[in-house]
Amino acid sequence: MKKTWKLDDILPIGQFGNLYREIENDLEKMRKYVGELKPDISKEKFKEILEFSEEEEEKMARLGGLPGLMEAVNQKDAEAKLLKSKVENLALRWSEVGIKMSLWIKGKRKPKLDDKNAKRIFGVITDLEYGLKRSRLLAKYSLPEHEENIIVNKDVNGMGVLEELREMISAEMEYEIEIDGKKKLIKTQSELLALVYDPRDEVRRVAYQALLLKQKENLPKFFAIYQAVIKDWNYEMKLRGYKSAIAVRNLANDIPDEAVEELLGSCSKNRGIFQEYFIWKAMELGKEKLERSDVYAPIVKKEKKYTIEETKELVLGSLSQFSDKFYKFGKELIEGQQIDWMPKTDKRSGAFCATISPKIKPYIMLNFTGKQRDVSTLAHEAGHGIHSMYAAGHYPSTQNASLPLAETASTLAEMILFEEILLREKDGEIRKAMLSDKMADAYATVCRQNYFILFEKEAHKKVPQGLRAEDLSDLYFKNLKDQFGESVLVSPNFRYEWSYISHIFASPFYCYAYNFGELLSLGLYARYKKDPKIWRGRIERILEVGGSKNPNEMLRSVGIDIRRPGFFQESFDIIAGWQKQLTKI
């Protein structure tokens, strides 16, 4: 079995130049189309322009997707970086034309599109209607054309380069640890972070020490980059007229501010569930109090290892429990050449699923080490891919769901897998260990992500006012103390942990997608368990919609109201139930 992905479905590398020139030539045609935009444009002509624009979006996704995935598995790949640079330059030229069309749709460019004509033409392609109407509703946040062009160039040539620099700094780090008197050099962050799940106290402790020491050594670099990210985000926020830093993300997700605040408040209020778990875990490990390095410690000393084949069998078996279609899509991903499995030097850490276009099966990057959480990671990322495949009937711009709904299938796939493995396991101690790991995972996905957002809200207020790197680290440490309370002993070096959280650099306020998605999926899964016949179909409808409808309205159509006070509490009750089970085993 091949352990690397095959990217030819995106674009054979030898054809990169041909596609590049094709898109370059199409640019002139798009300019002519933009020149034909006027309030009384015929429906047929507007449809023709929209379809051409979508075709070009798909071509650009393929052109950029190839070097993007090449670079993900080798961050020093010079050819990937060259091709990526070419794509960025071409994208900038296209954006100049795209901005003209976008502003015209919003009624911000002459000849001005009035509301009556907008209503007349926006329905020519039903799949794109929601996006067109939404674009017009958000017109007040748009800037004049020349300013929009400046911002696009700034994002690519300024902030984009800073993010690449941060990734390069992280990828070049090597970690020297000493265990049982033996020194070992670890060359990737992924390999190091795998050790925080080791059953041995010493191994977990030295792994965290090595990680945080490197972060501290490079703190001035990370702080300089993060300062720039925050100042850039907040400057543009004010320039466009958003009311807060997080509102920028909320509007992008089309999630009401009050729903996000309800989420954050509910997660903070329920942190006691996880604090109870940490107190229980300390007793299981024979400790007076849990240390921060113990949070992900297994409660059994011997951890089961899985081969890739065993992992595939487990995940596919669990996916088949939900529906034939869910299983079919999962099998196409897992048994095809869509996955890059193994960790290696200069490979990006973590895992992700990349959707290129509706015509191409998604790709999954893993750093597989054979542990049970690697099995869960495959289920999670396969869930993302399955979601994209459910929504493959849409145009490229409407295939992907907004961020909070984008976690629905991934979390669902993890839940099904967990119950499948738990059902198979007959040993009571191992079942207890699995349930403990599930609580630790729920902490990581719900509580931890929530506190990242709370930290970001504070950082985005304080950094523009003037702050030192150590001051920001103090803010983060205070955040940790509030999160854990008296249940966990947090050593001072964890104050530097913020500097390796990639999302706060690359996508500010992204992280609430995880706790939103986890809690929403838990609620959906609980309903599915009570009435599989009805809720299987409703969940599949959510997945099929992609990004073609308002997420709040889509959920309401299946009986879910995310604005309702207490909605998220139902999911926390499920998590609290797991903790009660643990205390009874």
Indicate whether 50 pLDDT > 80. yes
CA 584 to chain centre: 35
Mean pLDDT of 542-567: 91
Q: Are 145 and 168 members of one domain?
A: no
Q: Is 436 domain-assigned? A: no
Nearest to residue 60, comparing CAs of 5, 10, 130, 135?
A: 10
Mean pLDDT of 506-516: 93
Q: Is 570 domain-assigned? A: no
Indicate whether 357 pLDDT > 90. yes
Q: Are 54 and 201 members of one domain?
A: no
Mean pLDDT of 166-194: 90
CATH, residue 288: 1.10.1370.20
CATH, residue 68: 1.20.140.70
For the chain, give the percent of residues with pLDDT over 70: 99
What is the chain's mean pLDDT, rounded? Answer: 94
Mean pLDDT of 291-314: 90
Indicate whether 421 pLDDT > 90. no
Q: Are 395 and 501 members of one domain?
A: no
Q: Is 138 domain-assigned? A: yes
Q: Is 238 domain-assigned? A: yes
Structure tokens at 485: 């309370």
Indicate whether 180 pLDDT > 90. no
Give the Cα separation of 236 and 203 in Å (integer).
44
Q: Are 35 and 154 members of one domain?
A: yes
Q: Are 496 and 524 members of one domain?
A: no
438-463: per-residue pLDDT in tens? Answer: 999 999 999 999 999 999 999 999 99
Give the Cα separation of 123 and 381 in Å (integer).
34
Q: Are 192 and 293 members of one domain?
A: yes
How big, in percent rounded to 5, are the helix, strand and coil portions of the chain? 70, 5, 25
Alpha helix segments (H runs only) across 199-337: 201-217, 219-240, 245-253, 257-269, 271-284, 308-319, 324-334
- What's residue 188's pLDDT? 86
Give the Cα separation of 242 and 507 in Å (integer).
17
Q: Where does a domain end: 143, 158, 173? A: 158
Q: Cα–Cα distances in Å, from 115 out to 40, 102, 109, 141, 206?
A: 12, 15, 14, 18, 63
Spatial contact of 173 and 346, defined as CB atoms under 8 Å apart: no
Under the banding of pLDDT at 50, 70 and 90, the label for residue 304 is confident
Q: Are 529 and 380 members of one domain?
A: yes
Q: Are 168 and 273 members of one domain?
A: yes
Tell me, what amino acid is at 292? Answer: R
Q: Is 546 domain-assigned? A: yes
pTM of structure: 0.86
113-126: per-residue pLDDT in tens? Answer: 999 999 999 999 99
Q: Supply the range of the domain harboring residue 360.
A: 308-431+511-554
Q: Are 14 and 125 members of one domain?
A: yes
- What's residue 300's pLDDT? 82
Of 301 and 220, the structure prediction assigns the larger pLDDT to 220
DSSP-assigned states of every residue in 266-282: HHHHTHHHHHHHHHHHH
Q: Are 464 and 418 members of one domain?
A: no
Q: Are 119 and 31 members of one domain?
A: yes
In this structure, of 60-74, 232-246, 401-415, the range with the lowest mean pLDDT score is 401-415
Q: Are 32 and 135 members of one domain?
A: yes
Mean pLDDT of 373-393: 96
Under the banding of pLDDT at 50, 70 and 90, the label for residue 383 is very high
- What's residue 580's pLDDT? 93
Q: Is 565 domain-assigned? A: no
Indicate whether 302 pLDDT > 70. no
Indicate whether 584 pLDDT > 80. yes
CATH, residue 421: 1.10.1370.40
Mean pLDDT of 389-407: 92
How many CB atoms neighbour CB 304 within 10 A? 16
**What is the tally of structural domains in the chain?**
3
